Amino acid sequence: MRAIRQHEFGGPEVLVHEEVPWPVPGPGEVLVRVRAVGVNFADTHTRENKYVQKAHLPLVPGQEVVGVRADTGERVVALTKGGGAYAEWAVVPEERCVPLPDGLDDDQALGLLVQGLTAWHLHRTCGRLEGGETVVVHSAAGGTGSLAVQLAKPMGAGRVIATASSAEKRQLALDLGADVAVEPDAEGLTERLVEANGGRGVDVVVDMAGGPGFDASLRALAPFGRIVVCGIASKEQNEVRTGHLLRHSRSVVGFWLFHTLDDPERRFRAPLADLFARAVRGEVRVVVGGRWPLEQAAEAHRALVERRTTGKLVLDVADA
């Protein structure tokens, strides 16, 4: 079968389109004929072996697919285990394989799996959003950010402040439901966020980048405010002083999607069912910002890391 495989760590050029052996499911696993694959920032970190989980070569990248189960013929969305998604066929743990309802197309399902589930938990599980609070969503035009903007008010936010790197991306965030959108540059960001909230500190910040923007956002929090970290796109780690947290009654919370699989029914399947229902009702939509055939995975990675995209990025496999 055809797949993208890498034999070394490095830039997008290490992603090679080649023939690889078919995967064989083991106990508790199912074989899925892949229709489309999601491209995520985590994939770019894995490509360089800088992700939370260390990778091993040779590697077929990717961890989210939409396709058809070989054994039942059901249309499903699924998370793989340790890669293997950038391929015509993928083996996935059965507990990570979720049937799709009628009325939900492949792209919507794919976008809700990683980005949608992340956005759901950022608000509900980690941010513990309360009625009327102000939420800041950084990278608001991206895959996770665009969904976090849409989910914020239905989950209780009173005001949504978005940041995005261009006027076009900020307009997209406004179109998706943000009340105001500001530039994300770290210099002056604290003041812009407070000004956008009527001169008051903000309650919840969703941060995917880290670096100086994290520090500026932390300073913008009101007492009892929370900043939720779900990515380090800047590749710059931050240090937080406990004295600062104590003095200002602020909290820093981390989120890694794969911890939801420790409690799959409550933290994986139930939130996905809620997201699917919202999407079918038209309350939330996945913004598809780019599509590439499987063999052009390297170009998809370049576009993502160069910030040339919005929304969900997809590799088409069915027609590869």
> Which segments within the chain are labelled E, that is strand?
2-5, 16-19, 29-39, 64-69, 75-79, 89-93, 97-99, 134-137, 159-163, 180-182, 202-207, 221-229, 251-254, 288-293, 312-316
Domains of the chain: 2-99+287-316 (3.90.180.10), 126-258 (3.40.50.720)
Q: In which band, very low, low, confident or very high, does the pLDDT at 319 lie, cut at 50, 70 and 90?
A: low
Alpha-carbon distance 230 to 184, whole Å? 17
Backbone angles phi, psi at 257, to 5 degrees: -55, -40
β-pair partners for 207: 229
User: Residues near 166 by Cβ (< 8 Å), separated by ≥ 6?
Assistant: none
Q: Are 247 and 228 in contact (CB under 8 A)?
A: no
Cis amide bond preceding 58, omega within 30:
yes
Please state, as a whole number, how many other Cβ atoms lie within 10 Å of the Cβ of residue 274.
Answer: 16
Nearest CA among 256, 104, 131 for reference residue 203: 131
Determine which helix (DSSP H) or strand (DSSP E) holds 243, and give its type and residue range: helix 242-248
Position 94: which residue type? E
Q: Work out the average pLDDT over 270-293.
A: 94
- Decide: residue 60, CB within 10 A, 0-12 exposed, 13-18 middle, 19+ buried: buried
pLDDT digits (tens, 9 = 90+) for 16-69: 999 999 999 999 999 999 999 999 988 998 999 988 778 889 999 999 999 999
Of 38, 117, 81, which is closest to residue 301 (Cα–Cα)?
A: 38
Nearest 5°: CA angle at 244, between 241 and 250? 110
Q: Which distant-in-sequence residues (6+ apart) come within 8 Å of 198 by Cβ? A: none
What is d(CA 307, CA 120) in angstroms, rounded to the nearest whole number? 23
Q: What is the mean pLDDT of residues 278-285?
A: 94
96, amino acid identity: R
Whether pLDDT at 74 is above 70: yes
What is the maximal distance between C-alpha atoms in the chain? 59
Do residues 286 and 311 lie in contact, with contact meaning Cβ atoms separated by under 8 Å?
yes
β-partners of residue 17 are 4
Task: State whether residue 58 is helix, strand or coil.
Answer: coil
Average pLDDT over residues 225-250: 95
pLDDT 10s digits, 146-188: 999 999 999 999 999 999 999 999 999 999 999 999 999 999 9
User: What does the pLDDT read at residue 320?
Assistant: 47
Mean pLDDT of 208-237: 95
